[in-house]
């Protein structure tokens, strides 16, 4: 593509293609930066926290004069998950590790709430199917 963010755009286009093939509705909304939009401001805050977090492994490569990131990559073999330590200057692997970590954090954050809602809905459905009067 030649654009500075070509790798990010290519990944986004691939995700959109998969969603379209699965029949999933997707809505894109243009958000102007630095206009006080809460989700965008929140993303900026989270990015700043991630960069300054002391738990995030960072070093400096003198030869390349770039930051070196450290992360643990999950490897699945024969049904078991092990983790491999990885080190690199910023590239698609680092970007993917950041995305995976953000996703895992969001899943953990919402898992308990969603599980509770699912259980409640399952109970209501079973009561409805058995003929018990359901009140909410």
| Mean pLDDT score across all residues of the chain | 77
- The partner residues of 116 in beta bridges, in order of sequence, read none
Q: Is the pLDDT of residue 135 over 70?
A: no
Q: Is the pLDDT of residue 40 over 60?
A: yes
Residues in the chain: 136
- Please report which confidence band the pLDDT of residue 3 belongs to, taking 50, 70 and 90 as the band edges: low
Backbone angles phi, psi at 8, to 5 degrees: -70, -45
- The partner residues of 83 in beta bridges, in order of sequence, read 74
Radius of gyration of the chain (CA): 21
d(CA 26, CA 38): 20
- Please report which confidence band the pLDDT of residue 45 belongs to, taking 50, 70 and 90 as the band edges: confident
Per-residue model confidence as pLDDT tens digits over 110-133: 777 778 788 888 888 888 888 766
Does some domain include residue 46?
no
Domain that holds residue 94: 55-128
The H or E element containing residue 59 is strand 57-61
d(CA 64, CA 135): 65
Does some domain include residue 21?
no
pTM over 0.85: no
d(CA 75, CA 73): 6
Does some domain include residue 67?
yes
d(CA 11, CA 65): 27
Does some domain include residue 86?
yes
d(CA 68, CA 90): 7
How many CA within 13 A on the CB side of residue 134? 12
Q: What's the domain count of the chain?
A: 1
Does some domain include residue 107?
yes
How confident is the model over 54-71, as a mean pLDDT?
69
């Amino acid at each position: 593509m030649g654009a500075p963010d070509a790798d990010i755009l290519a990944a986004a286009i691939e995700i959109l293609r998969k969603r379209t093939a699965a029949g999933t509705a997707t809505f894109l909304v243009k958000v102007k930066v630095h206009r006080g939009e809460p989700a965008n401001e929140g993303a900026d805050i989270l990015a700043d926290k991630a960069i300054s977090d002391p738990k995030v492994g960072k070093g400096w490569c003198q030869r390349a004069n770039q930051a070196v990131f450290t992360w643990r990559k999950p490897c699945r073999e024969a049904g078991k998950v092990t983790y491999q330590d990885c080190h690199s200057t910023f590239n698609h692997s680092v970007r993917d590790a950041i995305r995976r970590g953000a996703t895992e954090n969001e899943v953990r954050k919402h898992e308990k709430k969603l599980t509770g809602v699912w259980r409640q809905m399952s109970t209501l459905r079973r009561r409805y199917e058995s003929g018990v009067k359901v009140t909410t």
